[in-house]
Structure 1
Amino acid sequence: MGAAVAALALVLSACGGAGGSAGDGGDCDTSRGTLVVGLVAPLSGELAAVGLGMKNSADLAVTQANARCAVPGYHLAVQSQDDRADPATGAAAAATLARDPSLIGVLGPFNSSVAQAVQPVLSEAGIVQISPGSTATSLTRGANAVTAPLRQYQTFFRTVATDGVQGPAAATYLTRVENKRRVAVVSDGKTYGEGIADEFAKQLATEGGQVVTRVTAAPGSGRAAAVSRVAAARPDAVFYGGEYPEGGPLSAALAAGGLSVPVMGGDGIVNPGFVTAGGREGDLGTSVGPPPETVPAARDFVDAYRRAGYPESIGSYGAFTFDAANVLVDSAVRALGEEAEWTPAARPEVVRSVQGFHGDGITGPLSFDRFGDVSTDAVTVYRVQGGQWTVVGPAD
């Protein structure tokens, strides 16, 4: 979750302070002005812990890029917009960024439902978008990824693997390793939650398991009814398609209702907030890529992040955001060349440059298929032990 291409070779050197105003580049020539790296993420509300880790990781990448004079003649700056995990707010945030002629591209968002609203805004403007957290398969493959794969937005890429990788991995692990075959599936009705729940359910059937009940419980409502239906089905385990602010209380409510089976979910629940919100010992989660602490280059990133003094933790998507920021900067450099002046007319070339990117990031190999999906498919399993998420090992 080491930098291979030349432009990424110095990414992991530590520099700057918190907040991103550092990274002045010392003797770098910045006479041509400032180029903007946009970021759309939930910087307030229940998912702020995720969004702020994304923001800080983008800031660190840009700080380091400035220190190595990554874009000849230019200073880079991060412009962050809070989407509040709301699609309409995210679309407005993207429109605000798109009006800036110095914008080279946008990182984010986190939520797949927000990504659906942001995609057409940035596509219309020809602006590249690299998401470190939106995992719904439909964002790149269309509504029917099996019979009619369709990439609607050529400007959309992601450094995180899709639910088509993670959901099946969770089902395979739960059946083959945990020997849990009667599973209740609860999802939150949002794009990410429904998508990963669908992928889990399909693979569960392939593994000889059974979905004993399928319940949709929208955030903020329906939990009691969901618990009642799940308890009546007497499952061996519960799979939750959704995020940690709702997943933790669901686990607690199930236990309070007398059902002491593990709750498993995807990367949306692998966050310390899941445990503080009610997640229990033995609950399981998956996340894409290996843990950052286990990869030498990623450990350098973690150390640099800590030295920078950011008040918030890296979060589950900081490493993916760091990679996304470096892919964007490197691609903009290659699109511009040594002497070219930036204009918005260069944006299509940045899109093509991202599409042709090949290198190693801190989350693994980085290249994109014809749909804009990243090539890596590693999935890690986590378990709540001692009141925190601990690594179990690779899903396979």
Structure 2
Amino acid sequence: MRSIVKLATPVAAAALLLTACGGTTGTGTEGGTEAAGGGATGECPDGVSIGFFGALTGPNANLGVNIKNGVQLAVDQHNAEDGACQVTVTDYDSQGLPEQATGLATQAVGDEAVLGVVGPAFSGESRVADPIFDEAGLVAITPSATNPALAENGWSTFFRVLGNDASQGPAAATYITDVLGAQNVFVVDDASEYGKGLADIVREELGAANTGNDTVQSGQTDFSATVAAIRAANPDAVFFGGYYPEAGLMLRQMREGGLQTPFVTDDGAKDDGLIDAAGAANAEGAIITCPCLPPEEAEGTFAADYEAEFGTAPATYSAEGYDAATILLDGIAEGNYDRESLLEFVRSYDAPGVTKQLSFDEQGEPADVVVWSYKVTDGAIVADQEIPTS
């Protein structure tokens, strides 16, 4: 098995190799044209691909682009190795919408060149796409979908490289009560599979300290009713379960309405889009929880390699996307050129990644889990502290 923690590779050299094999990206309708069959001992076939399934456009695209870049970096480094089986990335742009997931998942399983998928990136689309992957035997490793129920469906092809909301929710509640010292907490969710699921866990963990609740909708822009309800409840803290567009706008309207209540949100809001939507002054001091390692804490040269390739520092789930792709690429490097053998390889995987030791239990959950808090400081999201998960 090749080393997961790699040395930096010149982007130009990688680009030459990738050009020779036809590029590294595809679309949900194109991808490889030749079946990538042949088992774990045959010669590398033409057209081998892994899929990326998540939002590349739409209101939550920043999170998907972060992941896709991590996947692309892993593929570029793999392809630049001597004698490597050349791999392309086939994109399935879901816009983060469950209603897009059925068609895209069907496309993925119908393209025999696609041996595995990084994603789906969001919990709602995962609930729709993963049964289709399972029926087809197409392994899917999510770097970001955190709803705990996803691992409870008996899908043999489901894996994730980060902790689920059963760890993030209690950690968020612990931070709110122990670090912030809040005794009266108002909880808001966005009614999504992810946002409501996480908020409900936080509510349960807070118990009597959860003194007020509200639900908003994805795409909502007017939060005046929610702000009024928060003002009436006069809480010590507010927790929001959902994504950065709504989190940022709600926070802006809270602050502009005179409410300086401490604001805590989640990994779906861990993006500069939160600061853009709220305004830097309004976002200052906001707390974000995430079952993800700070990118600068990643092992090896990952952060430097990422910045060299994309001209920006890695962001939320870039490293997790890299790890998920690396698992699939390690399987391909060992000659697993069909879906069945690659699935078996992933099931027994146990090796160091850039975020943690990567291995899975029988439900596809990671053996190693961390949760961190982050804080908006001077207009940037920075690591705050690791939150105990037990």
TM-score relative to the length of structure 1: 0.86
Partner Cα separation in structure 1 for residue 194 and residue 241 of structure 2: 7
Is 1:287 aligned to 2:290, yes or no? yes
Q: CA deviation at 1:21?
A: 5.1
Distance 2:312 2:108 in 1: 24
- Whether the 8 Å contact between 2:323 and 2:354 is mirrored in structure 1 is yes
1:305 maps to what in 2?
306
Identity %: 31
> Which moved further from structure 2: 47-56 or 287-296?
287-296
Partner of 1:14: 9
Residue 110 of structure 1: how far off its partner (Å): 1.6
- Aligned to 1:202, what secondary structure does the other structure show? helix
* 1:240-261: CA deviation from partner (whole Å, max 9, x where unpaired): 0001111011111112223211
Q: Distance in 2 between matches of 1:10 and 1:184?
A: 43
Residue aligning to 2:56: 43
Checking the alignment, whether the CA contact within 8 Å between 1:115 and 1:134 is kept in structure 2 is: yes
CA deviation map 1:40-74 (0-9, x unaligned): 11111122222122212111101111122575xx3
CA contact (8 A) 2:4 2:352 kept: no
Looking at structure 1, the residues matched to 317 and 45 of structure 2 have their Cα atoms a distance apart, in angstroms, of 32
What is the CA distance between 1:168 and its match in structure 2?
Answer: 0.7
Amino acid of the residue matched to residue 307 of structure 1? A
Distance 1:126 1:289, change over 3 A: same
User: What SS does the aligned partner of 2:267 have?
Assistant: coil
Secondary structure in structure 1 of the residue aligned to 2:211: strand
Q: For this pair of structures, how many residues does the alignment match?
A: 364
Aligned mates of 1:132, 1:9 — CA distance in 2: 16
Q: Which residue of 1 aligns with 2:94?
A: 83
Q: What corresponds to 1:240 in structure 2?
A: 240
After superposition, what is the alpha-carbon deviation per residue over 1:245-297, rounded to whole angstroms, capped at 9, x for unaligned?
11011111112223211110111111111111105222101112331212442
Misfit runs of 4+, over 6 Å:
none
Amino acid at match of 1:213: G
1:266-345, aligned counterparts within 5 Å? Answer: 266-278=266-278, 279-297=282-300, 300-308=301-309, 310=310, 314-334=314-334, 336=336, 342=337
The 8 Å contact of residues 38 and 80 in structure 1, kept in 2 or not, is answered as: yes
What is the CA–CA distance in structure 2 between the aligned matches of 1:215 and 1:335, rounded to whole Å? Answer: 52
For 2:70, give the aligned amino acid.
S
Which amino acid in 2 is paired with 1:377? V
Q: What is the rounded CA distance, in whole Å, between the counterparts of 1:180 and 1:96 in structure 2?
A: 48
- Tell me which moved more, 236-245 or 384-393: 384-393
- For 1:260, give the aligned amino acid: Q
Match of 1:382 among 369, 374, 378: 374
Partner of 2:35: none
Q: Distance in 2 between the 1:186 and 1:288 partners? A: 20
Q: RMSD over aligned Cα, in angstroms? A: 2.3
| Alignment partner of 1:353 out of 324, 341, 345 | 345
Counterpart amino acid of residue 148 in structure 2: T
Distance in 1 of aligned mates of 2:306 and 2:147: 28
Structure 2: 5+ residue runs without aligned partners? 22-41
Structure 1 alignment gaps of length 5 or more: 1-5, 142-150, 337-341
Instruction: Output the amino acid matched with 1:285.
Output: I
Look up the match of 1:155. Answer: 157
- Counterpart Cα distance in 2 of 1:69 and 1:286: 40
CA distance in 2 between counterparts of 1:101 and 1:15 reads 31
Aligned-pair distance for 1:77?
0.6
Deviation at 1:100, TM superposition (A): 1.2
TM-score, normalised with respect to structure 2: 0.87
Asked if residue 94 in structure 1 is aligned to residue 105 in structure 2, the reply is yes
Q: Which residue of 1 aligns with 2:75?
A: 62
